[in-house]
Amino acid sequence: MDNYTATPRTRIRRLPKRGSYDKLAVHAILDQGFICHVGFAVDAQPYVIPTIYARDGATLFVHGSAVSRMLRTLAQAVPVCITVTLLDGLVLARSAFHHSLNYRSVVMIGNARLVEDAEQKWRALHLITNHVVPARWEEARTPSELELRQTSVLALPLQEVSAKIRSGPPIDDEEDYARPIWAGVVPVETRLGTPIDDGRLLAGVADIDLTRIRRFAPLTD
């Protein structure tokens, strides 16, 4: 199937024309982002925690400390809602009511499971590391046995998923187009700056090649 099936929990009801269930669109958003927000409840108290993630086909992996509240709670297969949002522009209208943002977002709902298989856990950590900087896992020291025990990985099957996207200029009420005020879109871009080493590089170690992170705009001057 080329689309995720809309469910009562993922169907876009507010401005449904902005909704998308297209797998390619959803995966493109997830692959470009860095941080997801994980929502869950403990004893009726809701929490939303930001964390790094990576997608592997139709599975989303998140990781964290094995003793964290989020990982301990979600390991019990409680319901979870995970979101990723990319900001593309400030939409400035002639009226305050019609101001908006251009964005791309994904909402994922389900029950995460604890990754207990050692090989799959290793692969998930590999994917998460390389999601930040491609090929970083291959050049850095891999986790020790102690570090692996201190880390938990959760997997969420991508089944109940929807995207919501806004693009384009503001849409004003017809009578407001006569107002002498600037209106349009101010693009928002994430750019990489010049790397700053930690002051303890060995002699001859070159700067990291940031062209590896191709999902970003070019380096700043």
12-48 pLDDT tens trace: 888 788 888 899 999 999 999 999 999 988 888 898 9
Q: Average pLDDT in the 62-91 region?
A: 85
**pLDDT tens per residue across span 129-171:** 999 999 999 999 999 999 999 998 999 999 999 999 999 999 9
Question: What is residue 71's three-state secondary structure?
Answer: helix
Cα 197 from Cα 183, distance rounded (Å) = 42
At residue 155, what is the residue type? A
Measuring CA to CA, how many Å separate 121 from each of 94, 114, 151? 51, 9, 9
Domain 16-169 classification at class level: mainly beta
pTM above 0.85, yes or no: yes
Helices (H), the chain: 23-32, 69-74, 118-132, 136-139, 145-149
In the Cβ-directed half-sphere of 55, how many Cα atoms lie within 13 Å? Answer: 21
Confidence of residue 106 (pLDDT cuts 50, 70, 90): very high
Q: Average pLDDT in the 83-109 region?
A: 97
Greater pLDDT, 99 or 67:
99
Cα 25 from Cα 27, distance rounded (Å) = 6
Q: Average pLDDT in the 194-213 region?
A: 91
Q: Average pLDDT in the 80-91 region?
A: 96
Confidence of residue 79 (pLDDT cuts 50, 70, 90): confident
